[in-house]
């Protein structure tokens, strides 16, 4: 699509902002579908028209997905160094993303800096979905944050926060997928599940099916739904709930048959 769009842009003398927007959309689609070389091309083109942090971060992400870690790290560091003190909240948020990409451990300096910047961003705009999503990711990645550090006014439970985001923004599959991944981690310790964990699990299973209904051709959605159901069934069997496990197995088989046809 890119060469075709450029040809139209030249023929109609479209402003550079339109070409830049097209590259942003195509790059995002390419990232979601695993076409990382195409995403790299689109974001490199985008950087010709925009000098903010977003296209740099997106290019770094595309490079990292291709195993080009050195170049990706250099770009993430560039964002962290250049945009941390920006007047634009969007650039400061991209700095948070870059710092988290650079953080090597849950206790790293970069992660601590990212948390502090995100706290300030959420104080200014507590309803911003991307800020809330990044906070949920931080909580999910470091459970101790749930007990030690909280941002006032923001839901401190990563699972609840991700479910809220996924319900409010069904057009953003990454919110629901993050909840599925979090629940997969929790299911490794299913014997320690309490009543509220069981409710969260049931809500996540239902959400995974809604995601599949909306995004039936997305490999990440399909994989996440199947892995979640399979681990859920395994947990039921370990608890001795064999009849329930059989019902869930039949349900999963039915979903996969519908998906196949």
Residue 238 domain-assigned (yes or no): yes
The mean pLDDT of 181-207, rounded to a whole number, is 80
Residue 254 domain-assigned (yes or no): yes
For 117-126, write each residue's pLDDT tens digit.
999 999 999 9
Instruction: Assess contact for 60 and 98: CB atoms under 8 A.
Output: yes
Q: How far apart are CA 68 and CA 79, in angstroms?
A: 17
The angle subtended at Cα 101 by Cα 107 and Cα 173, nearest 5°, is 110
Residue 217 domain-assigned (yes or no): yes
Tell me the Cα Rg of the chain: 21
Phi, psi of 157 (to 5 degrees): -95, 115
> What integer pLDDT is reported at residue 144 of this predicted model?
61
Helix (H) or strand (E) holding 31: helix 16-33
Residue 8 domain-assigned (yes or no): no
For 247-258, write each residue's pLDDT tens digit.
999 999 999 898
Residue 231 domain-assigned (yes or no): yes
> What integer pLDDT is reported at residue 212 of this predicted model?
92
Share of residues in the chain with pLDDT > 70 (%): 91
Q: How far apart are CA 33 and CA 235, in angstroms?
A: 31
Q: How far apart are CA 175 and CA 196, in angstroms?
A: 20
Number of independent structural domains in the chain: 1
Residue 60 domain-assigned (yes or no): no
- Name the 3-class secondary structure at 187: helix
Residue 27 domain-assigned (yes or no): no
Looking up tokens 């560091």 gives 77
Say what the pTM is.
Answer: 0.82
Asked if pLDDT for residue 195 goes beyond 90, the answer is no
Residue 184 domain-assigned (yes or no): yes
The angle subtended at Cα 238 by Cα 233 and Cα 241, nearest 5°, is 70
Q: Look up the domain containing 236 and give its range.
A: 170-261
Q: How far apart are CA 35 and CA 86, in angstroms?
A: 31
For 59-91, write each residue's pLDDT tens digit.
999 999 999 999 999 999 999 999 999 999 999
Instruction: Assess contact for 207 and 166: CB atoms under 8 A.
Output: yes
For 38-60, write each residue's pLDDT tens digit.
999 999 999 988 999 999 999 99
Instruction: Assess contact for 153 and 175: CB atoms under 8 A.
Output: no
68-77 in b/e form (b: 16+ CB < 10 A) is beeebbebbb
- CA dihedral angle for residue 258, residue 170, residue 139, residue 32, rounded to 10 degrees: 70
Q: How far apart are CA 5 and CA 45, in angstroms?
A: 13
């Amino acid at each position: 699509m890119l060469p075709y769009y450029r040809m139209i842009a030249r023929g109609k003398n479209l402003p550079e902002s339109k070409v830049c927007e097209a590259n942003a959309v195509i790059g995002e689609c390419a990232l979601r579908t695993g076409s990382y070389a195409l995403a790299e091309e689109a974001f490199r083109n985008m950087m010709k028209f925009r000098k903010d942090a977003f296209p740099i971060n997106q290019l770094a992400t595309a490079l990292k997905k291709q195993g080009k870690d050195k170049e990706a790290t250099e770009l993430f560091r560039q964002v962290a160094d250049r945009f941390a003190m920006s007047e634009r909240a969007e650039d400061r948020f991209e700095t948070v993303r870059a710092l988290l990409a650079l953080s090597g451990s849950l206790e790293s300096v970069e992660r601590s800096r990212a948390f502090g910047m995100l706290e300030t961003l959420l104080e200014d705009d507590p309803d911003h979905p991307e800020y809330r999503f990044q906070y949920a990711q931080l909580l999910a990645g470091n459970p101790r944050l749930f007990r030690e550090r909280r941002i006032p006014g923001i839901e401190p439970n990563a699972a609840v926060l991700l479910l809220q985001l996924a319900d409010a923004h069904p057009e953003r599959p990454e919110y629901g997928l993050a909840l599925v991944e979090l629940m997969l981690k929790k299911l490794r310790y299913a014997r320690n599940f309490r009543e509220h964990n069981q409710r969260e699990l049931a809500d996540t299973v239902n959400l995974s099916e809604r995601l599949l209904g909306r995004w039936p051709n997305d490999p990440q959605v399909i994989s996440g739904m199947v892995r979640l159901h399979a681990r859920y069934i395994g947990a039921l069997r370990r608890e001795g709930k064999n009849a329930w496990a059989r019902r869930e197995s039949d349900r999963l088989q039915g979903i996969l048959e519908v998906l196949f046809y």
